[in-house]
A = this chain, B = another copy of it.
Amino acid sequence: MRLGHRPSRDKRITTHLCLVARAFGAQGIYIAGIRDDAISKSLDKIAGTWGGAFWVEFTPNPICLLKGWKKSGGKVAHLTMYGVPVKKVIRKIAALEEELLVVVGGEKVPKEYYLVSDFNVAIGDQPHSEVAALAIFLDRITRSLWEEVSFKDARLRIIPSDKGKTVEQMGQKKESFLR
């Protein structure tokens, strides 16, 4: 769940958060605030090309959603530089059997989010980026599963290359340049 999205200022950061959530193994993202079609469309386009199913949902009342999530047995981890160092809680979180909702905020997250969260987790105690925090957290919690999985129904697939771009398009190899 992405808190504090302001369509005027945060479009690119929120889009990066969606892409990171998808690439590092989340099933979807809740975005707090009013509907912003540009973001949904951009993610649909990505999934159309690169595969997988990833949902984007806007929620006008994120704290209610979180409380409902917990009532139905889910757990909540909130990423904040004020929280407990990730290395101290990652095993406990990774061992959970409940569904996990990860919350990332903007600059000023209200106190109630800290209180409702089962875990307030710090990806370092320095100010940096919610995009980076989400990536590191998902990397740790999945034990880097993103390195092993591929997305279903992709139209394009990258063939790793040390000096170029090689993309396979539905069985046909297409090279943009090579050494």
Q: Which residues of A contact B (CB under 8 A)?
A: 9-10, 12-13, 16-17, 19-20, 22-24, 46, 50, 81-88, 111, 114-115, 119-120, 122, 124-129, 131-132, 134-136, 139, 144, 146-147, 151, 157-158, 160-167, 177, 179
Q: Note all chain B residues with C-beta closer than 8 A to A160.
A: 82-85, 88, 122, 125
Known: A19-B129, A20-B132, A23-B126. 15 other contacts (CB 8 A): A12-B12, A19-B127, A23-B128, A82-B160, A82-B164, A82-B165, A82-B167, A88-B160, A120-B161, A124-B146, A128-B135, A129-B135, A131-B131, A132-B132, A139-B139
Contact in complex: A114, B164 (CB < 8 Å): yes
Q: Give the distance in Å from the alpha carbon of A20 to the alpha carbon of B132 in the complex.
A: 7
Contact of A114 among B9, B20, B163 (CB under 8 A): B163
- A50 lies within 8 A of B87 (CB): no
Contact between B16 and A131 (Cβ–Cβ < 8 Å)? yes
Q: B163 and A115: CB pair below 8 A? A: yes
Q: Which residues of B contact A151 (CB under 8 A)?
A: 126
